[in-house]
Structure 1
Amino acid sequence: MAKQFAVVGGGWAGFSAALELARAGHRVTVYEAARTLGGRARRVEVDGRVLDNGQHILLGAYRETLRMMRLAGVDLDAAILKLPLQMRYPPGDAGMDFVAPRLPAPLHVGVALLRARGLARDDKLALARFSTTARWMGWQLNNDCSVAELLERFEQTPRLAQLMWRPLCLAALNTPLERASAQVFLAVLRDSLGARRAASDMLLPRTDLSALFPEAACAWLRRNGHQVHLGAKVGALQPDTGQPEGQAPGLPAAGAARWLVQAGGAALGGSERAAFDGVVLACAPAAAAALLQPLEAAAPLARQLEAFDYEAITTCYLQYAPGTRLPTPFYALLDDPASQRWGQFVFDRGQLDAAQDGLFAVVISAAGAAAALAQDELAAAVGRQLAADLAMPALAQAAWSRVITEKRATFACTPALDRPDNATALDGLVLAGDYTKGDYPATLEMAVRSGQQAARLLSAPARRARA
């Protein structure tokens, strides 16, 4: 029997939940407070330029993200540049060059290790030892610890930690080695380095993050008769109060819709109060906590969400003359904040989208210190770093720059962090978001999996929707 469900939040988790519910035959209404879809992975427009609020790398291991994109009608070949696993530093830099060939796993990593430039024999032996030991352990720890402690246990060399493990940890967990969860890091490595060869591929979006999935999912929903409201902020959630006499207060009335959603915005013509059989709360933790706080049974969950610590991600966009290119779509960079070297990865956007010729995106994860600088100061420092590392003096002077910082880009992924379940203490109300309980850190794949799980909790079998 088809039911009516509301999804609060138009990000990757929210649209994954909405798509799954709709495909199960239910009716879905999505409320998104912003005018742009995508949540913390979205398009922004600055000075007439279409950018992302942060540069992303997906992995071939993100099977559910890729599956949902296909279901929404995204042409993956056109939307994504697929590269083999690599950790490449600029030529002449004090880094390394590690590129996996397209061979079956785990042979691809072994050959990449043998061919890697910039690593000494001890470094290569340490990496092989890490991979072998982690496989033997089933990529599991009896007790979680920091990634720094894990690397010490596995006798990783300082150079390998600096050139391989630290940038991978920052890119995946957005948390410094000293505070990052080793178990979550191992889960990411298990499903990429430790899985089939294609799972380790690095996938670079050619289109903006809103178009990559949320807008395609929105279009699919609307074509199939569902509703998506932009600029519609949900102000309150209430259990149905029409209980028959004698029924416990706060529980839904028999045969009635379980939840009332109060929302307002121009898209709704002011405000509306609509009834639904269930609600997926797919907004950021702080926003979810504010909606949960008035609900007595959900107060402990609200406090748990309010207790999260966060890490920032900064992306510095630098526009150079047309034709300015890197030898490869992206490089890792050696950062050293004490020397005003902030960049950790640089992406040549022109190799992903011809309309962005000459545009470079430099990413700084766990960016609290960098984000405290004035934007012009940070952009100038990043330009000088690129000019030195790439031996291209002209990069020190960009024609245009913009620094975008997502201050609460991800939760701080610390050891043994207590993350909430998708299910809540209230029947018919579930959570979806990259912060919920799961193997992965705050990534697009974790957001998508969380949305799918939220949909499974709400959904009963009904007729399948046809695209």
Structure 2
Amino acid sequence: MKIAVIGGGWSGLAAAVELTTGGAQTVLFEAGRVLGGRARSTQLDGRTLDNGQHILLGAYSETLALMRRVGADPDQLFDRRPLQVMDNRGFSMALPKLPAPLNVAWGLFAAKGVGLREKLGTALWMEGIKQRGFRVDAQQTVAEWLDAAGQTGALRQHLWAPLCLAALNTTVDRASAQLFANVLRDSLGSSRRADTDLLLPRVPFGELLPEPAEHWLRSQGASLRTGCRVESILADSSGITLDGEHFSAAILATAPQHAARLWPAMDAHYDYEPIATVYLQFRPETKLPFPLQSLNGKYGQWVVDRGNGLFACVQSGQGDWTQLDDATLAAQLQSELGLGEPASGFRVVREKRATFSCRPGITRPACASSHPRLFLAGDYTWAEYPATLEGAVRSGLRAAHQVLSRYAEA
């Protein structure tokens, strides 16, 4: 059974590993020179950096399991810490190592910068969300949802709005309330305390999954064709033909705009959100009180302390920051950090169409395509989540399962 996987991002890698484990002759096509898609390592002026700063949580169960399968140990590669949300305006909320849901309850009531009345109201609101199974109006934005719940105070500004932007890459006035509720369900609303943990990479992103998966796939006999862009997909009753090469089936695991080019029957039309990561280098001893901090400024959103004085500042979603050139954006973020020392250098990585825009009621394709031998994977196909690495991995595994169950004897 010869199966093609088109796209070497995290969904394509998950599909390829699952197919190979199931005995398929796997051929993975990736247009770029390296694997990893939106979450990979890249060389900037001779230095290994990530092409974007991603934030992972303990709730990423399938991602962590996939890492272990290909020989990458999450316990060694991540700095796992109980979640803290803090900013440079006096707000902080730290979850203790207590069983869920006591950890969230304690963190909420011990939060600084929020009045007791607001804390009580928020606790009742969150309990109500749980009782309703985290189901909300599919047409509501996060802003409308928070307004209706009376969540208009400090927690909205310092907690819900930043978390929404970090998780959905879409501002609260445009983001889907249901998708945000799903994120809360599997993190702050989870019955497992470990699901709320923050996972901070100790290594470049390539070492988390792309590079170990590449080594594992090659060792298992899979064919990896990097720098190879698929130009055409032809389908008939016997299988899928890619640029003249025949396969029993194929998994299309590219970003939606590329998938629609190869398979127009998808009819996938989305708005997209930009992301920029601004790396600022300070003195090696310069550190943040906690490795993740919300800037809550005019331009800055989140900053991650990568160690040795390297800070990764993340801007996502449409906003004023998109109008600034690299040097001006870096200077503004340095000012908002307020460290009292100048950065010795900066690098900016921008992606104009980093993720699909998580608007209310958008149509998300299923795994099955219009042809029985072509399957879809990618974070945009995992309808429960916004554009996350966990959604990408789950979608790839699902597509591989369907291929193996239908065409194992082909």
**Same fold, TM-score > 0.5, yes or no:** yes
**Separation in structure 2 between the aligned mates of residue 318 and residue 154 of structure 1, nearest angstrom:** 38
Match of 2:148 among 150, 153, 158: 153
Alignment partner, residue 243 of structure 1: none
1:358 lines up with 2:316 in the alignment? no
Alignment partner, residue 73 of structure 2: 75
Match of 2:260 among 278, 286, 289: 289
Give matches, 1:271-420, under 5 Å.
273-293=244-264, 298=265, 301=266, 303=267, 305=268, 307-336=269-298, 342-350=299-307, 357-387=308-338, 392-394=339-341, 397-420=342-365
Query: Deviations along 1:195-250, whole A, 9 cap, x unmatched?
Result: 111111111122222221122111111101111111111111112xxxxxxxxxxx
Q: 1:142 to 1:358 in 2, by over 3 A?
A: closer
**Separation in structure 2 between the aligned mates of residue 348 and residue 374 of structure 1, nearest angstrom:** 23
One-letter code aligned to 1:370: W
**Separation in structure 2 between the aligned mates of residue 234 and residue 143 of structure 1, nearest angstrom:** 36
Alignment partner, residue 231 of structure 1: 227
Alpha carbons 1:5, 1:279 under 8 Å: kept: yes
Q: Displacement of 1:462 after TM fit?
A: 9.4
Number of aligned positions between the proteins: 407
Tell me the secondary structure at the aligned position of residue 39 of structure 2: coil
Q: Displacement of 1:110 after TM fit?
A: 1.1
Unaligned runs of at least 5 residues, structure 1? 240-250, 263-272, 337-341, 351-356
Alignment partner, residue 3 of structure 2: 5
Alpha carbons 2:275, 2:352 under 8 Å: kept: yes
Alignment partner, residue 194 of structure 2: 198
Q: Displacement of 1:142 after TM fit?
A: 4.7
Give matches, 1:50-199, under 5 Å.
50-90=48-88, 94-195=89-190, 196-199=192-195
Match of 2:34 among 26, 33, 36: 36
**Separation in structure 2 between the aligned mates of residue 48 and residue 367 of structure 1, nearest angstrom:** 31
Q: 1:283 to 1:260 in 2, by over 3 A?
A: same
Q: Displacement of 1:158 after TM fit?
A: 2.4
Alignment partner, residue 403 of structure 2: 458
Give me the CA root mean square deviation. Answer: 1.5
Alignment partner, residue 268 of structure 1: none
Alignment partner, residue 422 of structure 1: 367
Q: Displacement of 1:156 after TM fit?
A: 1.0
Larger radius of gyration: 1
Alpha carbons 2:293, 2:302 under 8 Å: kept: yes
**Separation in structure 2 between the aligned mates of residue 102 and residue 144 of structure 1, nearest angstrom:** 36
**Separation in structure 2 between the aligned mates of residue 445 and residue 210 of structure 1, nearest angstrom:** 16
Alpha carbons 1:329, 1:349 under 8 Å: kept: yes
Alignment partner, residue 434 of structure 1: 379
Tell me the secondary structure at the aligned position of residue 393 of structure 1: coil
**Separation in structure 2 between the aligned mates of residue 365 and residue 406 of structure 1, nearest angstrom:** 10
Alpha carbons 2:382, 2:392 under 8 Å: kept: no
One-letter code aligned to 2:324: L
**Aligned-residue identity in percent:** 46
Alpha carbons 2:168, 2:358 under 8 Å: kept: yes
**Separation in structure 2 between the aligned mates of residue 434 and residue 223 of structure 1, nearest angstrom:** 27
Q: Displacement of 1:348 after TM fit?
A: 1.1
One-letter code aligned to 1:383: Q
Q: Displacement of 1:48 after TM fit?
A: 1.2
Q: Displacement of 1:368 after TM fit?
A: 4.6
Tell me the secondary structure at the aligned position of residue 186 of structure 2: helix
One-letter code aligned to 2:29: Y
One-letter code aligned to 2:234: Q
Alpha carbons 2:138, 2:177 under 8 Å: kept: no
**Separation in structure 1 between the aligned mates of residue 271 and residue 278 of structure 2, nearest angstrom:** 23
One-letter code aligned to 1:215: E
One-letter code aligned to 1:210: G
**Separation in structure 2 between the aligned mates of residue 171 and residue 460 of structure 1, nearest angstrom:** 36
Q: Displacement of 1:143 after TM fit?
A: 3.8
Alignment partner, residue 252 of structure 1: 237
Alpha carbons 1:24, 1:462 under 8 Å: kept: no
Tell me the secondary structure at the aligned position of residue 98 of structure 2: coil
**Separation in structure 2 between the aligned mates of residue 122 and residue 403 of structure 1, nearest angstrom:** 42
1:261 lines up with 2:247 in the alignment? no
